[in-house]
């Protein structure tokens, strides 16, 4: 299995430049195209599941992170505050929860609005030591698929089960194969907020929500504010890490004094459920690059169709078909330089799922010959049919290269 750093370089997905800084990779056009497709998919999945998306800045006043507890409990993992003036200090956020608590607090809330699911693919920062950084798997600037679901206490069990269902759906579409589920609970020698009874109740809630899922209990792996369910993956080097997570938090609603009006008119405290379906874009892609060895499912392949005219006389037809493919919503390119054999080999090296060859015969009868990434070749077919075929596979988000017969 080839390491994602080497594939990332060979396929021009991302670059790490010492001048920009360790753990601060730059996504190149091919990597950005794949990531964009994945981000759109996740946003759509969340939208259909009742999430509301917001934008919030990756930087905030020091007081916000004192209120959230991050500066008290988590300061070692954060960049030092930046002083703008004597009474104004700013912090690069290590998590999105404080801003999302302020979304909940933006106005009075009723029990009818719950669960209120606030989602954002947002930036956050961790002051990782330079020795542990590498490629996309450990970075200092993190783009997290995040959400905070504010629930009435009695809704938490169903909400966690629904989140686990969404996690499984997203994994199936992306080709993520989890190594296992982990119930991360309190452990000795760690600091935690809240009382024992609250922790025991929260841990029981998660145990119940797991409901038949085989999970390993991991003492000491809980967040400082609550227990969590983590979905683990293993990378090419055999290192285990968390890709998806569901965390219960009774502490931040308290700190931000969050409340809603219940059906009897009384004020109640919501529970905050932190969840990420697919983790950060960086760690997700480090994993996807390795697990697919760069051959992404067609729906998020950087270039889906590469068109190869056999000679100069076919170049115009290839460019025309490329524009038609783009108009149909596909990512397409034309490669005109060099021998046909060399261009076919280069397409294979780039793991492009579909190569369309246009020779004199194809141009004369308005057809194209498709070759699939796995070596199969299809008989020449009308150009519109070829675009429909690729479009159908992309729309299905299947990993197969042909639609079901």
Residues within the interface to Zn ion (CB under 5 A): 95, 97, 274
Q: In the complex, what is the shortest distance from the CB of residue 126 to Zn ion, in angstroms, rounded to a whole number?
A: 14
Q: In the complex, what is the shortest distance from the CB of residue 275 to Zn ion, in angstroms, rounded to a whole number?
A: 8
Q: In the complex, what is the shortest distance from the CB of residue 120 to Zn ion, in angstroms, rounded to a whole number?
A: 10
Q: In the complex, what is the shortest distance from the CB of residue 68 to Zn ion, in angstroms, rounded to a whole number?
A: 9
Q: In the complex, what is the shortest distance from the CB of residue 345 to Zn ion, in angstroms, rounded to a whole number?
A: 46
Q: In the complex, what is the shortest distance from the CB of residue 148 to Zn ion, in angstroms, rounded to a whole number?
A: 6
At residue 131, what are phi and psi to the nearest 5 degrees? -65, -25
Q: In the complex, what is the shortest distance from the CB of residue 309 to Zn ion, in angstroms, rounded to a whole number?
A: 51
At residue 118, what are phi and psi to the nearest 5 degrees? -100, 115
Complex with Zn ion: residue 30 or 142, whichever CB lies closer: 142
Complex with Zn ion: residue 94 or 135, whichever CB lies closer: 94
DSSP character at residue 345? H
Say if CB 64 and CB 78 are below 8 A apart.
Answer: no
Token pair belonging to 348: 């294979």
Q: In the complex, what is the shortest distance from the CB of residue 209 to Zn ion, in angstroms, rounded to a whole number?
A: 18
- For residues 249 and 55, what is the distance between their CA atoms, to the nearest angstrom? 22
SS3 403: coil
Complex with Zn ion: residue 148 or 383, whichever CB lies closer: 148
Complex with Zn ion: residue 68 or 367, whichever CB lies closer: 68
Burial 208-244 (b: 16+ CB within 10 A, else e): ebbeeeebeebeebbbbbbbbbbbbbbbbeeeebbbb
Q: In the complex, what is the shortest distance from the CB of residue 200 to Zn ion, in angstroms, rounded to a whole number?
A: 22
Complex with Zn ion: residue 74 or 399, whichever CB lies closer: 74
- For residues 46 and 69, what is the distance between their CA atoms, to the nearest angstrom? 28
Q: State how beta strands 332-334 and 305-309 pair.
A: parallel
Complex with Zn ion: residue 274 or 331, whichever CB lies closer: 274
Q: Give kind and range of the element (H or E) at residue 297.
A: none
Among left, alpha and beta (phi > 0; psi -120 to 50; other), residue 124 is: beta
DSSP character at residue 40? H
Asked whether the CA dihedral 114, 115, 118, 124 is positive or negative, the reply is positive
Complex with Zn ion: residue 193 or 387, whichever CB lies closer: 193
- For residues 3 and 238, what is the distance between their CA atoms, to the nearest angstrom? 11
- For residues 126 and 98, what is the distance between their CA atoms, to the nearest angstrom? 16
- Identify which of 182, 180, 159 has the alpha carbon closest to the alpha carbon of residue 171: 180
Complex with Zn ion: residue 246 or 301, whichever CB lies closer: 246
Q: State how beta strands 271-276 and 305-309 pair.
A: unpaired
Complex with Zn ion: residue 93 or 274, whichever CB lies closer: 274
């Amino acid at each position: 299995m080839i390491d994602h750093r080497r594939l990332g370089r060979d396929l021009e997905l991302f670059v790490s430049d010492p001048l920009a800084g360790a753990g601060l990779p730059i996504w190149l056009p091919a990597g950005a195209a794949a990531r964009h497709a994945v981000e759109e998919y996740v946003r759509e999945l969340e939208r259909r599941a009742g999430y509301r998306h917001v934008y919030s800045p990756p930087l905030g006043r020091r007081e916000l992170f004192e209120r959230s507890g991050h500066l008290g409990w988590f300061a070692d993992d954060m960049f030092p505050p930046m002083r703008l003036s004597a009474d104004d200090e700013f912090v690069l956020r290590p998590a999105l929860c404080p801003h999302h608590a302020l979304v909940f607090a933006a106005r009075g809330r009723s029990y009818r609005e719950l669960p209120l699911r606030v989602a954002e693919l947002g930036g956050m920062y961790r002051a990782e030591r330079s020795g542990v950084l590498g490629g996309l798997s450990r970075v200092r600037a993190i783009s997290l698929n995040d959400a905070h679901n504010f629930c009435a206490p009695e809704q938490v069990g169903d909400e966690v089960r629904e989140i686990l269902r969404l996690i499984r759906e997203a994994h199936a579409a992306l080709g993520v194969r989890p190594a296992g589920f982990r119930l991360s609970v309190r452990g000795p020698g760690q600091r935690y907020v809240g009382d024992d009874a609250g922790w025991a109740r929260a841990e029981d809630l998660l145990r119940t929500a797991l409901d038949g899922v085989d999970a390993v209990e991991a003492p000491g792996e809980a967040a400082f504010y609550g227990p969590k369910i983590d979905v683990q993956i293993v990378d090419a080097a055999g290192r285990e890490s968390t890709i998806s997570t569901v965390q219960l938090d009774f502490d931040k609603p308290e700190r931000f004094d969050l409340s809603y009006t219940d059906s009897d008119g009384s004020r109640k405290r919501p529970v905050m459920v932190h969840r990420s379906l697919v983790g950060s874009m960086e760690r997700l892609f480090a994993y996807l690059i390795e697990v697919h060895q760069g051959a992404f499912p067609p729906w998020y392949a950087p270039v889906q169709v590469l068109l190869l005219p056999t000679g100069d006389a076919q170049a115009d037809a290839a460019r025309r078909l490329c524009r038609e493919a783009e108009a149909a919503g596909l990512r397409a390119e034309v490669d005109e330089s060099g021998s046909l054999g060399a261009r076919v080999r280069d397409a294979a090296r780039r793991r492009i799922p579909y190569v369309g060859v246009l020779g004199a015969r194809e141009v004369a009868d308005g057809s194209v010959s498709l070759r699939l990434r796995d070596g199969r070749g299809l008989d020449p077919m009308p150009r519109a049919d070829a675009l429909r075929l690729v479009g159908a596979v992309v729309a299905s988000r299947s990993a197969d290269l042909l639609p079901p017969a």
